[in-house]
Amino acid sequence: MNVIVVGCGKVGYALADTLCGENHNVTVIDNSEEKVERISNSMDVVGVRGNGASYRVLQEAGVEDCDVLIACTSQDEVNMLCCLVARKAGRCRTIARVRDPNYYSEIGFIKEELGLSLAINPELAAASACYQLLRTPYAMELDAFARGQVEMITFDLPGNSPWLNKRLADIMQGSRFSFLAAIVTRNHEAIIPNGNTVLQRGDRISIMLATHYATRILEAAGIRYKPVRSVMIAAGGNVGYYLARKLCEDRIKVTIIEPIRKRCDELNDLLPQANIIYGDACNDKILLEEHIDEMDAFVALTGNDSENIMMGLFANRYCPGKLITRVNKVTMSDVVRDLPLGAVVSPKELTAEKILSYVRAIDNRDPTNTMDAVYRVAGDRVEALAFTVNAPSPVTGKPLMDLPIRSDILVSAIIRRNKVTIPTGRDSIQTGDQVVIVTNRRGLRSLNDILK
């Protein structure tokens, strides 16, 4: 496909890199000649310097032949205008990054009037990810499929786990509830396991399961936790506000430490149930004065990676509960996952992931199935994908054991008429099913690609 990316910041760079890797024809636009030159020299893209909202510049970038335009500059107004002009000039699909809460509260009207195919709010996506992690405090990562009926939960195997030194086949056979170990991360390597894989101390495991069985299965793995009742949030920007609003709705005690007085006043009006503290969360005395040592969770959400990492390391020492650290620079995410920072959340990675999912879905020209979601897990080494089966195809109607499925593909869940099945070799895929697969193979677009 022909894709235009407007904005060569961190998200634009990550998107261009990913889309090039999947053999799309990518053109990037940015006002900064330095940014355009840097991205053009580092990957196989066409660079155009100029204003992406300009009809002339879009023509130069080839908007008439464009399939998808993605506007991800730092300004919402520019992004929306880029999409409007591109829609009129080239009739392509358009995706806009929209961050301002005032705009996003009216996003339905904006999408309809501007003809947007997709609007993404990175801060809201990050807040939603943090919220899910706080609701599932033992999880390092959590991805949901089929409207939340199926989850893939990633957690560190406890040192006293009953699963230690056991084969996965024996663990799953002895379980009262059906689940599937989809990924084992060991010594920085992500493994798609089989029944003979033996779990070891230090393993990080991703398991696929029906959501309502999660607590009981994790208890069997030796996970012990208490529900989160109090949360300290460092910084009351958009991510902090969105997260605090969700937590307050659940009647969770929220403390926000915000260094800008004017923003504190705004938060007091917006979140009357929350405890708003004027101060710098990088100051360890303030954290201790506000009883970080009694909190069930600490979330570092400033816009500065270095500050978040330092606060995360401090909280790891003093906070007894869940720890979440925001990391904005996508190129740093793999490094910081080795630090004791708890769960790492990146708004830019979440944005890139959602856009990739949409682009991959429209690039799937196989009428027998539709791609619903793509998640990158285990430090982006593995993909989890969800498909809906629309019609009979080579993968339907036969037991999985009789299909020539690629060795690096794991059929992890089948959802049929709202019933979740963690499949065995005797199960089959039928028309109407939703199917979740896990693979370390990049670029799958159709469910039929799982076959050799």
pLDDT score at 46: 94
Q: Let me know whether 361 and 446 are in one domain.
A: yes
Residues 191, 382: Cα–Cα separation, whole Å: 9
> What does the CA dihedral 401, 406, 411, 417 come to, rounded to 10 degrees?
-80
The answer for 428, left when phi > 0, alpha when psi is -120 to 50, beta otherwise, is beta
- Same domain assignment for residues 52 and 152: no
Shared domain for 67 and 160, answered yes or no, is no
pLDDT for 330 equals 55
pLDDT tens profile 258-281: 999 999 999 999 999 999 999 999
User: Rounded distance, CA 348 to CA 169, Å?
Assistant: 37
329 domain residue, yes or no: no
Residue 37 shares a structural domain with residue 80: yes
The pLDDT of residue 368 is above 90:
yes
Q: Please state the separation of Cα 201 from the chain's center in Å.
A: 27
- When pLDDT is cut at 50, 70 and 90, the band that residue 335 belongs to is low
Residue where the block lists tokens 């600490």: 298
Q: How many other β-carbons are positioned within 10 Å of the β-carbon of residue 324?
A: 28
In a domain, 332, yes or no: no
Helix (H, G, I), strand (E, B) or coil at 239: helix
Residue 187: CATH number of its domain: 3.30.70.1450
Averaged pLDDT for residues 41-70: 94
Domain boundary among 120, 155, 170: 120
Strands in 302-342 per DSSP E: 322-326
Give me the pLDDT at residue 333, please. 53
Residue 225 inside a domain? The answer is no
CB-based contact 303:319 (threshold 8 Å):
no
Phi then psi for 146, rounded to 5 degrees?
Answer: 50, 55
Mark which of 161, 190, 220 sits at the end of a domain: 220
Mean pLDDT, residues 27-40 taken together = 93
Provide the token pair at 21. 């890797």
Q: What is the pLDDT of residues 144-170, one digit of tens each?
A: 988 889 999 999 999 899 999 999 999
Q: Look up the domain containing 147 and give its range.
A: 132-220
Average pLDDT, whole number, for the chain? 91
Among residues 100, 120, 140, the one where a domain terminates is: 120
Q: What is the pLDDT of residues 205-221, one digit of tens each?
A: 999 999 988 888 989 99
Q: What is the predicted pLDDT for the residue at 31?
A: 93
Neighbours of 306 (CB within 10 A): 11
Number of separate domains in the chain = 4
Tens of pLDDT, residue by residue over 61-117, are: 999 999 999 999 999 999 999 999 999 888 899 999 998 888 878 888 988 888 899
Strand order in the sheet with 230-234: 275-278, 253-258, 230-234, 297-300, 322-326, 343-345
Angle at 56 between CA 53 and CA 58, to 5 degrees: 55
In CATH, what number is assigned to the domain containing residue 296? 3.40.50.720
Residue 333 inside a domain? The answer is no
